[in-house]
């Protein structure tokens, strides 16, 4: 290793020094870009989840409403959309027999769910309808788990996730339960449902929604539509919920009225869910764009810094090597021969003036100094030229190394 290093030229040694400092910097850049890329992929996976959730929520709402010509048309469109997102995102979200099976969610494949849906339409069954409704809820849970939505790291998107994935499904299930109970209402159960809606489920939706738009400016930037759209949708959503709560708290409310109010409340809930999901998508897209910009800026600035550092190193290297290269040119055999000839001529003239004894003594001293300088120069040439023995031999073999006489 030492012999190899000694043979390297000075330029090569400077390049190796620069590379030794660049390697850890390149490693840190790689780790940083990898981390940003992982966050981008995390966000993209969340967008897969919201895309998969849309047809699931729509189908669950249609199932809860019951059969009708309009519902059948909406269901056909929702199933077509579910087949599309299954083909595009199903494998990534593990909506496969293996992925569902290892989580105890067998039978939730989109194809099997549609077969059960068609069977239910041909042979109505309240028990099968409730089971299908429960399985749609399990599919929604699976989509939230495997799309990373449940792990969202930013407060604004986290609380919107809470709205669309946890709070709203829970509230919609409560409204569906009220619709079922309205067929044979009991005052105690009605008051209990009213209290849960009023004190637990509605406040959770409002608190999460409000927190989302309050925290929005603290992350990748303020969404211009989040607060205006979500606040308006929240107000429109709460109105039928409050009407239903008042009806539940009144003992003389008729069952038909309760069913109509609960249906209206469910419709308002689906509309609010759509708005909240659209705003969540907008925030996720903003985050993805911000992260891609951060990654691209890091790469661009690193390349510019590397180019600037390389140029500066080249300038400094040339400022060192150019004078040394000039020394090497001056030590070429031709230059040395001319100097030796000039020195011999000067020495003859000096010997003629001083005599043989004094000139012999002076020649010996000059030869000694010449040998010392010669060794130093040869070592310098070897360092500049990377231990190039050929160049050193040319200098060594020059007549300048011959003792002066």
Could you please report the per-residue DSSP string of 331-360? TSHHHHHHHHHHHHHHHHHHHHHH-HHHHH
Axis-axis angle for helices 255-330, 168-181 (nearest 10): 170
Q: Do 162 and 65 touch, CB atoms closer than 8 A? A: no
CB neighbourhood size of 10 (10 A): 16
pLDDT at 23: 85
Show contacts of 213-217: CB within 8 Å, 24+ apart: 213/156, 215/154, 215/155, 215/156, 215/159, 216/156, 216/283
pLDDT at 382: 60
Distance, in Å, from the CA atom of 144 to the CA atom of 167, rounded to the nearest integer, reads: 13
Q: Do 193 and 178 touch, CB atoms closer than 8 A? A: yes
pLDDT at 391: 47
Direct distance between the N- and C-terminal alpha carbons of the chain, in angstroms, rounded to an integer: 43
pLDDT at 320: 74
- Residue 403 is classified by DSSP as P
Top CATH class of 153-284 equals mainly alpha
Q: What is the DSSP string of 190-223?
A: HHHHHHHIIIIIHHHHHHHHHHHHHHGGGTT---
pLDDT at 327: 64
Output the tens digit of pLDDT for each of the chain's 405 residues.
Answer: 667 766 777 677 777 877 787 888 889 899 999 999 999 999 999 999 999 999 999 999 999 988 888 888 999 999 999 999 999 999 999 999 999 999 999 999 999 999 999 999 999 999 999 999 999 999 999 999 999 999 999 999 999 999 999 999 999 999 998 888 887 777 778 888 899 999 999 999 999 999 999 999 999 889 999 999 999 999 999 999 999 999 988 877 888 888 899 999 999 999 999 999 999 999 999 999 999 999 999 999 988 988 888 888 888 877 877 776 676 666 555 555 555 555 555 656 655 655 556 556 656 666 666 666 666 666 666 655 554 444 445 545 544 444 444
Q: Is 67 exposed, middle or buried (0-12, 13-18, 19+ CB in 10 A)?
A: middle
- Domain limits, the chain: 153-284, 331-405
């Amino acid at each position: 290793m030492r012999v190899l290093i000694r043979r390297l030229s000075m330029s090569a040694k400077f390049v190796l020094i620069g590379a030794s400092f660049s390697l850890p910097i390149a490693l840190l850049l790689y780790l940083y870009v990898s981390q940003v890329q992982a966050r981008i992929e995390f966000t993209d996976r969340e967008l897969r989840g919201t895309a998969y959730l849309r047809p699931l929520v729509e189908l669950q709402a249609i199932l809860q409403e019951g059969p009708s010509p309009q519902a059948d048309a909406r269901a056909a469109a929702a199933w077509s959309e579910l087949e599309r997102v299954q083909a595009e995102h199903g494998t990534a979200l593990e909506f496969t027999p293996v992925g569902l099976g290892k989580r105890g969610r067998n039978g939730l494949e989109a194809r099997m769910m549609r077969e059960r849906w068609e069977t239910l339409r041909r042979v109505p069954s309240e028990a099968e309808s409730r089971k299908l409704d429960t399985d749609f809820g399990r599919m929604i849970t699976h989509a939230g788990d495997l799309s990373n939505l449940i792990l969202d790291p930013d407060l604004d998107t986290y609380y919107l996730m809470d709205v669309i994935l946890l709070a709203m499904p829970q509230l919609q299930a409560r409204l569906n339960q009220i619709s079922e109970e309205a067929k044979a209402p009991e005052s105690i159960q009605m008051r209990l449902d009213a209290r849960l809606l009023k004190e637990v489920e509605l406040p959770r939706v409002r608190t999460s929604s409000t927190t989302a738009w309050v925290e929005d400016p603290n992350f990748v930037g303020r969404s211009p539509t989040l607060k205006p759209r979500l606040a308006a949708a929240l107000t429109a959503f709460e109105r039928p919920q409050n009407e239903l709560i008042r009806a539940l708290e009144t003992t003389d409310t008729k069952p038909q009225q309760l069913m109509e109010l609960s249906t209206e409340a469910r419709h308002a809930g689906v509309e609010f869910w759509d708005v909240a999901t659209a705003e969540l998508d907008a925030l996720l897209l903003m985050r993805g764009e911000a992260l891609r910009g951060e990654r691209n800026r890091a790469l661009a600035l690193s390349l510019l810094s590397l180019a600037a550092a390389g140029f500066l190193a080249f300038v400094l290297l040339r400022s060192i090597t150019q004078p040394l290269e000039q020394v090497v040119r001056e030590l070429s055999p031709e230059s040395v021969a001319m100097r030796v000839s000039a020195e011999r001529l000067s020495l003859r003239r000096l010997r003629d003036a001083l005599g043989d004894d004094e000139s012999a003594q002076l020649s010996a001293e000059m030869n000694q100094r010449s040998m010392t300088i010669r060794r130093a120069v040869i070592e310098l040439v070897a360092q500049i030229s990377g231990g190039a023995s050929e160049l050193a031999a040319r200098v060594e073999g020059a007549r300048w190394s011959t003792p002066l006489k």
